A = this chain, B = another copy of it.
């Protein structure tokens, strides 16, 4: 009898639900709003979503092997607890895994949301078929997810995989984490826009000044468009981000020798406009001892990576 796995992806605004089959096909993805009043209401909403998922799909409870929940952190994975959740109220020291498991009467497993998204790409997306894969999510910050021989790297206190907070420029830009020169400060969508705006405010000439004046801010898409229209400042900052990202990719290759590095998040929507410069700098910086065999590729599951990966974590847990 083939089994099914339920994925739940907890976000600040929506909770996503989806089904994954034993042979790794995802289906029936939908979302419900995240209740504003915290813990118990969130568990109830998750139980409601699980019920809807089974009902609309006509899948018996007995055919579901488990539930995987992706959640923002910090988490304690062994106890299945949310330690803290700045963006979702009432979730401090909340035993989400066991509460959901009891509410839906199914085994449940908890995973960090960034790791779940990486695992989704690994199982069903851009990384399908790989053994070793690293994902960098270039959004508000830079998130990381590392898969070594099919297993997510968590570390001894579930604080591993924080590639966005590896230092790539000694004594570089100060980061909110207390370090200086973190990857996140050079390659996240947020900071690329911020660094560019700072230069414009300091008087450096750019066609983007008009956009800033009109809208109050610019985003990475504006920078890419200005760059392609010949704006020198935009070109410089875009290329800088690509160069720092390439450096991170070289280091990932030295440490993990992965089959693939997957780029996701807002900045990755630029597609080949980002990949091209990243690969160019990577080739220039990379060692010459061996030819490069690690692919640098774009994520393929978009915003569904997290919910698919959460179900994937349940799929994996049922096999161990």
Give A162 to B290 CA distance when docked, in angstroms.
Answer: 13
Judged by DSSP, the binding face of A is loop
Q: A202 at the A/B interface (Cβ < 8 Å)?
A: no
Give A94 to B304 CA distance when docked, in angstroms.
Answer: 47
| Beta-carbon contact of A286 and B163 below 8 Å | no
Binding-face segment, A19-27, A102-110, A174-182, A305-313: A174-182
A131: contacting residue among B149, B156, B161, B287, CB under 8 A: B156
Given A255-B160, A285-B179, A289-B177, A247:B155 Cβ within 8 A: no
Given A132-B156, A287-B177, A255:B161 Cβ within 8 A: yes
Give A241 to B179 CA distance when docked, in angstroms.
Answer: 19
A146-181 interface (Cβ within 8 A of B): 146, 148-149, 151, 153-163, 165-170, 175, 177-180
Shortest beta-carbon distance from A246 to chain B in Å: 10
A288 to chain B: closest residue by CB: B178
Q: A259 at the A/B interface (Cβ < 8 Å)?
A: yes
**Interface residue tally for chain A (C-beta within 8 Å):** 51
Shortest beta-carbon distance from A158 to chain B in Å: 7
| Beta-carbon contact of A288 and B154 below 8 Å | no
| Beta-carbon contact of A165 and B257 below 8 Å | no
Given A165-B287, A180-B285, A160:B247 Cβ within 8 A: no
Interface residues in chain A, defined as those with a beta carbon under 8 Å from any beta carbon in chain B: 74, 130-132, 144, 146, 148-149, 151, 153-163, 165-170, 175, 177-180, 243-244, 247, 250-251, 253-259, 285-290, 293-294
